[in-house]
Amino acid sequence: MSEPSKPQGRKFQLPEHLKEYKGIWVIVEQERGSVHSVSWELVGEARKLADKLGVEVGAVVLGADSPALNTICAEAFTYGADVVYKVADPVLSEYRTDPYCRVMTDVVNAYKPEIVLLGATTLGRDLAGAIATTLATGLTADCTELDIYMDNRSLAATRPTFGGTLLCTIQTLAYRPQMATVRPRVMSMPDRDDSRSGRIVEVFPSLREDDVITKVLNFIADREQTEAQLAYADVIVAGGKGLGKPENLKLVFDLAKVLGGEVGVTRPLVQAGWTTFDRQVGQTGKTVRPKLYIAAGVSGAIQHRVGMEKADLILAINTDPNAPIFDFAHLGLVGDALTILPALTDAFGKRLSVNRLAG
Amino acid sequence: MHIVVCIKQVPDSAQIRIHPVTNTIMRQGVPAIINPFDLFSLEEALRIKDRTGARVTVLTMGPPMAETSLRKALSLGADDAVLLTDRKFAGSDTLATSYALTSAIKKLSEEEPVDLVFCGKQTVDGDTAQVGPGIATRLGFQQLTYIAKIEAIDEAAKEIVVHRRSEGGVQVMKTKLPCMITMLEGTNTIRFGKMDDMFRAARYGLKTWSKDTTGADETKVGLKGSPTVVSKVFVPKPRAERAKMVEAEGGSPDALAAAAVEAIFGAQPKLADDLLGRAAAGL
């Protein structure tokens, strides 16, 4: 990516006193003892950026002190962190904006990282918007690419804008830290290296439960976890407007079932009420990176493309040989999804059952 | 009870242009609507009004043409509307926008204290989801994002119980007013306006406020008050090559499907084993 010429002025120069901000942090999203994969994806990405800058990667782990929290701290090193900031307090056991924001503001002000990254999840977006305000700094949401411009050692955060029709690169030049959120699956999962270790900095926040107004009365775990499953599915069969009518979505479900995959859809189908929002892939829906993505009756609008183009293999089925999806799919099939889908379901079904018997 | 609903007028289509010199968005000539995510919050505010007789004020920051969206909100049942507009606000990023909106909410609080601020979960144009949290933080309100349900509001005790969508489940939370809420999409359906509200909306004398009306600090708004800089705007690069087309003799669906399966396993030999393992595990 070429570096554009920079205008001069107060907003574009880093003031001297902010030059002591060093290192790249990832706020690790931990809830009830499990870490959201996006946090490790970001530690991996932070590693690449930090190596470019020649600085350390810090992982911030917040929660109530427990063996599980210590395990998470140790895990952060294996994905690429140099330092883990362990912030343990009973008040932090469940996520609530106010105590998390207060603690993170203090920790950032104390240790001065130059870049802070969070997952663009319900927790990450909630917290990032609050911290960026208390720190009065720039925050770029839902980035699809992060880079460092070496001439001024600044973070270049690229994100789709206006429904993905355009990409823009956003920078925070005169303020620190530079903040960004990144959606799950946009960055690849780093390989674990169990030989890596690092140092743990224990932070003891002075929180009192009585000072926190919001109380969590209960947590109701989802019975069906389609939300999480789509983003991390290995196989996705997706349907678009080319399917014609809502009943035909069944053909997509049938193929997905044979493949043990999940079903995704384009935005117009959600807007038309064919299925629920949690199945929407694209700019305003989920970002996915399955091993196989079969797009049936999907034209390939840029809004959809930005959510799925990182799939390892994309097969597109469309009646229109000039549909934009053929410009970025790996395999294309010109034909009617309504007849091809059942044929594919059969073909895969046979192939997989034959192999199973043979194996 | 006084409720402020922050809305944003957004372009209805992706037909937008970028100013070649300033790299900022040119909104002229594109049809405008209320950001669809804001409607879930507006409806929720109106439902609270139905139950408690709360006063609902809609607030937007934008160019004078954003008046259209405010009148639409009035026609749906909002009581008052404030248009925050000033050339000095142009180019505000989310930090500057939340500052400007907060200055207006503080001014509204002087007339009647604000108990609840509703914002959209995110906008369809900017997609940042940052302005709501920015406002909550600046006002010192409790922040409740991604709310799937408002279970109860106790006006006397100033308490509220909500269901918040989080990863893998729902947090049931109890907190005190005042708070800032963003509603999850699909949690309700926006009502149709009543005839008398439509007439009232058409006649309503909008409050138009500038930077000076709310006393906003000039250094904290507009391009000057925005820490972020758009350094580049560009069109996504197309992939280097087009898709390899799957073809089959006769072109029957079965022949094409068989050819597609071969092409998939040819391109990704490991995938066959993966799928097999998956099928075996599922059966």
pLDDT in tens, A242-268: 999 999 999 999 999 999 899 999 999
Confidence of residue B238 (pLDDT cuts 50, 70, 90): low
CA A102 to chain centre: 24
Parallel/antiparallel/unpaired status of strands A30-31 and A262-265: unpaired
Residue B92 is predicted with a pLDDT of 95
Do A171 and A154 meet the contact criterion of CB atoms below 8 Å apart?
Answer: yes
Looking at residues A163-176, what average pLDDT do you find? Answer: 86
Nearest to A101 among B128, B137, B274 (CB): B137
Find chain B residues with C-beta within 8 A of A142's C-beta. Answer: 127-128
Q: Omega into B178 within 30° of 0, i.e. cis? A: yes
The alpha carbon of residue A164 is apart from the nearest alpha carbon of chain B, in Å, by 8
Do B253 and B209 reside in the same domain of the chain?
A: no
Do B264 and B178 reside in the same domain of the chain?
A: no
Domain hosting A328: range is 226-358
Residue B279 is predicted with a pLDDT of 64
Looking at residues A137-160, what average pLDDT do you find? Answer: 94
Q: Is residue B127 part of a domain?
A: yes
Do B30 and B76 reside in the same domain of the chain?
A: yes
Rounded Cα distance between A157 and A172, Å, is 9
Do B132 and B270 reside in the same domain of the chain?
A: no
Do A248 and A274 meet the contact criterion of CB atoms below 8 Å apart?
Answer: no
Considering only residues 120 to 159 of chain B, which have any Cβ-Cβ distance to chain A shorter than 8 Å?
124-134, 136-138, 142-146
The alpha carbon of residue A157 is apart from the nearest alpha carbon of chain B, in Å, by 10
Do B210 and B256 reside in the same domain of the chain?
A: no
Q: Using CA of residue A86, residue A222, residue A274, residue A325, what is the dihedral sign?
A: positive
Do A158 and A240 reside in the same domain of the chain?
A: no
Q: Is residue B26 part of a domain?
A: yes
Decide if A139 and B228 are in contact by the 8 Å CB cutoff: yes
SS3 A205: coil
Decide if B227 and A137 are in contact by the 8 Å CB cutoff: yes
Nearest to B134 among A95, A129, A140 (CB): A129
Do B22 and B62 reside in the same domain of the chain?
A: yes
- Which of A185, A211, A237 represents a domain boundary (last residue)? A211
Q: Is residue A81 part of a domain?
A: yes
Close Cβ partners of A74 (under 8 Å, ≥ 6 residues apart): A197
Find chain B residues with C-beta within 8 A of A31's C-beta. Answer: 166-168
Do A157 and A284 reside in the same domain of the chain?
A: no
Looking at residues A212-234, what average pLDDT do you find? Answer: 83
Q: Is residue A216 part of a domain?
A: no
Do A295 and A234 reside in the same domain of the chain?
A: yes
Domain hosting B11: range is 2-220
Q: Rounded to the nearest 10 degrees, how much is the dihedral formed by the CA atoms of B37, B41, B44, B46? A: -110
Do B216 and A153 meet the contact criterion of CB atoms below 8 Å apart?
Answer: no
Mean pLDDT of chain B: 91
Q: Is B26 on the interface with A (CB under 8 A)?
A: no
A294 pLDDT above the threshold of 70: yes
Do A207 and A230 reside in the same domain of the chain?
A: no
CATH code of the domain containing A156: 3.40.50.620
Considering only residues 161 to 220 of chain A, which have any Cβ-Cβ distance to chain B shorter than 8 Å?
161-175, 213-220
Do B39 and B169 reside in the same domain of the chain?
A: yes
ipTM for the complex shown: 0.87
CATH code of the domain containing B216: 3.40.50.620
Looking at residues A194-221, what average pLDDT do you find? Answer: 96
Find chain B residues with C-beta within 8 A of A213's C-beta. Answer: 142, 175-176
The number of distinct structural domains making up chain B is: 2
Q: Is B170 on the interface with A (CB under 8 A)?
A: yes
Do A136 and A17 reside in the same domain of the chain?
A: yes
Do A204 and A247 reside in the same domain of the chain?
A: no
User: Is the backbone of residue A32 left (phi > 0), alpha (psi -120 to 50) or beta?
Assistant: left
Of A254, A253, A284, A255, nearest to A268 (Cα)? A284
Strands (E), A283-330: 292-296, 313-318
Q: Is residue A124 part of a domain?
A: yes
The listed range with the strongest mean pLDDT (A286-290, A308-312, B202-206) is B202-206
Nearest to A222 among B11, B128, B168 (CB): B168
B283 pLDDT above the threshold of 70: no
Residue B20 is predicted with a pLDDT of 59
The number of distinct structural domains making up chain A is: 2
Do A200 and A267 reside in the same domain of the chain?
A: no
Do A68 and A190 reside in the same domain of the chain?
A: yes
Residue A130 is predicted with a pLDDT of 98
Do B138 and B86 reside in the same domain of the chain?
A: yes
A55 pLDDT above the threshold of 80: yes
User: Rounded to the nearest 5 degrees, what angle is found at the Cα of B95, between the Cα atoms of B185 and B233?
Assistant: 80
Nearest to A172 among B18, B228, B276 (CB): B228
A228 pLDDT above the threshold of 60: no
Rounded Cα distance between A343 and A346, Å, is 5
CATH code of the domain containing A238: 3.40.50.1220
SS3 B71: helix
Of A240, A199, A184, A206, nearest to A44 (Cα)? A184
Looking at residues B21-27, what average pLDDT do you find? Answer: 60
Nearest to B256 among A217, A340, A348 (CB): A340
Find chain B residues with C-beta within 8 A of A222's C-beta. Answer: 168-170
Token pair belonging to B178: 């005042």
Q: Is A338 on the interface with B (CB under 8 A)?
A: no
Q: Is residue A220 part of a domain?
A: no
Give the chain B residue nearest A344 (alpha carbons): B257
Find chain B residues with C-beta within 8 A of A98's C-beta. Answer: 142-143
Q: Omega into A160 within 30° of 0, i.e. cis? A: no
B214 pLDDT above the threshold of 90: yes
Looking at residues A12-24, what average pLDDT do you find? Answer: 94
Residue A206 is predicted with a pLDDT of 87
Find chain B residues with C-beta within 8 A of A355's C-beta. Answer: 272, 276
Residue B26 is predicted with a pLDDT of 64
Q: Is residue B23 part of a domain?
A: yes
Do A157 and A254 reside in the same domain of the chain?
A: no
Q: Is residue B76 part of a domain?
A: yes
B16 pLDDT above the threshold of 60: no
Between the two ends of chain A, the Cα-to-Cα distance in Å is: 48
Considering only residues 187 to 226 of chain B, which have any Cβ-Cβ distance to chain A shorter than 8 Å?
223-224, 226
Looking at residues A143-169, what average pLDDT do you find? Answer: 88
The alpha carbon of residue B200 is apart from the nearest alpha carbon of chain A, in Å, by 31
Q: Is residue A14 part of a domain?
A: yes
Token pair belonging to A325: 């999806």
Confidence (pTM) = 0.86
Q: Is residue A51 part of a domain?
A: yes
Q: Is residue B68 part of a domain?
A: yes
Do B34 and B7 meet the contact criterion of CB atoms below 8 Å apart?
Answer: yes
Do B130 and B260 reside in the same domain of the chain?
A: no
Decide if B174 and A215 are in contact by the 8 Å CB cutoff: yes
Close Cβ partners of A280 (under 8 Å, ≥ 6 residues apart): A264, A265, A266, A267, A269, A270, A286
Q: Is residue B64 part of a domain?
A: yes
Residue A354 is predicted with a pLDDT of 59
Q: Is residue B74 part of a domain?
A: yes
Q: Is residue A5 part of a domain?
A: no
Span B43-53, pLDDT tens digits: 999 999 999 99
Residue A1 is predicted with a pLDDT of 46
Looking at residues B246-265, what average pLDDT do you find? Answer: 91
| H or E element that contains B273 | helix B269-282
Question: CB burial class (10 A; 0-12, 13-18, 19+) of residue B235?
Answer: exposed
Query: How many residues are recorded in chain A?
Result: 359
Q: Is B22 on the interface with A (CB under 8 A)?
A: no
Do B265 and B164 reside in the same domain of the chain?
A: no
Residue B249 is predicted with a pLDDT of 85
Q: Among A2-6, A342-346, B174-178, where is mean pLDDT lowest?
A: A2-6
Residue A359 is predicted with a pLDDT of 41
Do A201 and A280 reside in the same domain of the chain?
A: no
Rounded Cα distance between B151 and A86, Å, is 35
- Which of A156, A185, A211 represents a domain boundary (last residue)? A211
Token pair belonging to A79: 């994905």
Q: Is B19 on the interface with A (CB under 8 A)?
A: no
Do B142 and B53 reside in the same domain of the chain?
A: yes
Residue B273 is predicted with a pLDDT of 78
Find chain A residues with C-beta within 8 A of B235's C-beta. Answer: 166-167
B127 pLDDT above the threshold of 50: yes
Rounded Cα distance between A117 and A130, Å, is 14
The alpha carbon of residue A74 is apart from the nearest alpha carbon of chain B, in Å, by 23
Looking at residues B31-56, what average pLDDT do you find? Answer: 95
Q: Among A9-23, A208-222, B175-189, where is mean pLDDT lowest?
A: A9-23
Chain B interface, best mutation among A161, A227, A318, by max B CB count within 10 A: A161
- Which of A211, A242, A274 represents a domain boundary (last residue)? A211
Q: Is B171 on the interface with A (CB under 8 A)?
A: yes
Do B254 and B209 reside in the same domain of the chain?
A: no
Do A144 and A195 reside in the same domain of the chain?
A: yes
Do A243 and A135 reside in the same domain of the chain?
A: no
Mean pLDDT of chain A: 91
Question: CB burial class (10 A; 0-12, 13-18, 19+) of residue A314?
Answer: buried
Q: Is residue B183 part of a domain?
A: yes
Give the chain B residue nearest A167 (alpha carbons): B234
